[in-house]
Structure 1
């Protein structure tokens, strides 16, 4: 039996120059793909060979991004963090301010005549800030399920879907691992059980095998502690491994199946015209006061 001696090789410490070069490279990544989560930045850094794909590598990226934001090198809003938020009722200093805000933030309901209802379901709360610019622009609900959605959350969603007179299209994004894939199945199954008479179309749009192969996504070993690992396979991929813009493109693509770009432009033009009309009315009311 061959006996191997302990390695005498010591891991080289990063010099200040190495660290600065890495941070400039991280800045380039975030600048090109913002908004991103810290984990998305980590995956893009591993793909480019900036850091090792390990917990130590992730810690380096975390530390770098903290220091870059504190020093002013990286704007805070380039990184998305949907895990912390504030609850506060909306208030106004006067009726005039309330009217002005209503006019300024007026949004037209884009799906009234679309003949379909669309929702995007997301497994990871932290990625909501990455996808929300698209769902918000298209007036589509973004449902953050955090893995296995609670029964109360599913019941509320199913109750609304059941009240609709048009088909519902649910698009799900989650990790490619035993729990991520199974969570999507459970959401589909439960929604259809709770709204048995509704027409529900459910589709998992990421992460899928074609994405892993076609985009050469970084993989990780499937957790053997998961009871479903044997039937799943040895390779798993996190949703965070997909480039942010590709994620946004995936979401926009499925939305545009039901609200084509030409129709969207017409509706947004009508929205702008109605917003201007409201602004004019508020100006008249303010002048009369």
Structure 2
């Protein structure tokens, strides 16, 4: 096992399996700890304007990636220790099991007719107003969240981990967490959160397209040429209308493979946002959440293979 190469690949695989089996730690979650620290730092760094936001993001992402680099170099001398450190970081930053678990709970509530409980649980996944959503709108929101978060919480961290190791894992999660915290267009964060939102778009550009490609690959391996065709059309014609350059691609791929229509108008804090229409099938139902979860797990597995391939790429000797 070459130092830092084979052990990185094994660590990614072990961390991925840990996430599949255990999900997020219920207490002392490192990502939650980062969020708490970021909120405290914001009390000192916040100012109206993009420059303050750039400094805020640079400080938090830079310091997190630097800590990851220290961990990478400190453990690289021992393959076993490096595997353990990489696995721990991978488990900490992945969110695949928790994402699917939330989808399962929402699907069960809808199937049992408890729309109120489904709406309440949906708030764990989405930022939109859920109080007036009917069954199909709840299912649509859940499928959209599963699709986008499969890319953000599984595919992207794996690929960055495969490319850069522990610094890539924790640095990516810092970027994505900051986007969730300050990257939205409220009066407070319209300028201050600009850097977080744009950096998140940048680091997710390739992973989102890898996630979409993995969804199509799964359909192709199943021999479902119709699903592949639907997904390609949705990505080509529908995704550009979505406000997110990355979320639209992944959601369009899921819509096509699943044969449903996603997108539409969402309400955020009283503000309506038209997110375009993705796909040409019927509106999602409760049963489609389970199908989206299965697709999410499959995309995650394909992405692990890609991350391991990145980790095993030969690197120049220093």
**Both structures adopt the same fold (TM-score exceeding 0.5):** no
Instruction: Answer 1 or 2: which has greater helix percent.
Output: 2
Of Structure 1 and Structure 2, the greater strand share is in 1
- Point out which structure has higher relative CO (alpha carbons under 8 A, 6+ apart): 2
If the length of structure 1 is used for normalisation, what is the TM-score? Answer: 0.30
TM-score normalised over the length of structure 2:
0.29
